[in-house]
Amino acid sequence: MDLRFTPEEVAFREEARRFFRTEIPAEIRARVSEGRTLKREDYVTSQRILDAKGWAATGWPVEHGGQPWTPVQRYIFMEELMQAAVPLPLQFNIHMVGPVIATFGSEAQKKRFLPRAKSLEDWWCQGFSEPGAGSDLAALKTRAVREGDHYIVDGQKTWTTLGQYADWIFCLVRTDPAAKKQQGISFLLIDMKSPGVTVRPIITIDGRHEVNEVFFDAVRVPVENLVGEENRGWDYAKFLLANERAGIARIGMSKERLARVKRLARSTPAGEGVMWDDADFRARVAAVEIELKALEMTQLRVVAAQATRDPARPDPASSILKIKGSELQQATTELLLELAGPAAPAQRGEGVAPNDLETLAAWADMAAPVYFNTRKVTIYGGSNEIQHNVIAKAILGL
């Protein structure tokens, strides 16, 4: 298999590179690169610029605003977007609920929800994990009981990322308590303004308000907001999670961080020289870079194979990308934290002047919060331990 880009693909890469660096505001890209907390307006501004270009939901069907790109073009697009430190189009809208609605939703749901999800007029969040039902997602207890034209929803979701901004939440709910746990689950779309919905913040170890717990107390949800068939939600969730896992690899993000490691190491004092003089440190940087290149080649093979796959069927290879991609994200932040050393505080460094992170003193204030926040990537989207089981069953046939 020839993994080199064609001249047309190289030209597309240059177009994307120019667009990201000239059209997305520099102050937004700086906040992404520096690991700062993005504001709601940052996401909205960036995504609407992409949407005006037709690039907000490139992987969607063309009739719903996607691009007729090859899998390689989609790969190049995401790679350049992350290396330019552009905010990812909101994952919950673009890579999660959007593809589920486009593939399994009714025509009315597609017409109502997809345009607003693409333009970020509606902000979606994810209602999957619960206390006691995270990695064992099928053990969820939030229930939905049908009463006429509505479901009555009661329960709790947790680790709901950016739920404080959300207009809607897509939820897995139990609609048949007598069925086997994977077979009694449905996929509901719930308006966050509905009476009985309560959002409470969870402050994480890096000092940020990124995640929440969401409570449902007799929330009335129209039956028309059921996606697909009742009790088929587990199938839709597997489809969604496969999309999420492939996106978690984030090779471009790790490349951008590794480039920062190299720049800082050449100016960070160590003994009588700088950190880059340390052969052991250079060897660890090289090891991460080699694994990152291997992951990139693996992702290109997966991308090439997508052209012949049924898009409605989850690709188990996404589990491989998720495992190694999340591990390498953590490895790059560990190298950055080592460079910062004991100067790195545990809480977020929001007081550092923007665009001033090319010095060790400035970066040290951000290194620990970024390190702590990245601990989560081996857990969400299905823990890496669960992904090993997926690979063993679906790929190795064990």
Whether 35 and 372 have beta carbons less than 8 Å apart is answered as no
Which stretches of the chain are DSSP H helices?
7-23, 26-33, 40-53, 71-83, 91, 98-104, 107-118, 233-248, 251-265, 279-305, 317-340, 360-374, 384-394
- Is residue 289 part of the annotated active site? The answer reads no
Tokens of 241: 């999670």
- Spatial separation of the C-alpha atoms in residues 179 and 42, rounded to whole Å: 44
Whether 335 and 275 have beta carbons less than 8 Å apart is answered as no
Say which of 34, 213, 244, 289 is annotated catalytic: 244
Whether 164 and 199 have beta carbons less than 8 Å apart is answered as yes
- Spatial separation of the C-alpha atoms in residues 254 and 249, rounded to whole Å: 9
Which of helix, strand or coil describes residue 131? coil
For residue 161, give the nearest of 151, 152, 149, 170 by alpha carbon. 170
Whether 211 and 160 have beta carbons less than 8 Å apart is answered as yes
Residue 112: C-alpha distances to residues 24, 66, 102 (Å): 28, 16, 11
Residue 217 Cα to chain centre, angstroms: 29
- Spatial separation of the C-alpha atoms in residues 228 and 102, rounded to whole Å: 11
Which of helix, strand or coil describes residue 136? coil
Burial class for 125, CB neighbours closer than 10 Å (0-12, 13-18, 19+): buried
- 263: number of CA atoms within 13 Å, CB side? 11
- Spatial separation of the C-alpha atoms in residues 166 and 201, rounded to whole Å: 13
| Widest CA span in the chain | 76
Active site residues: 244
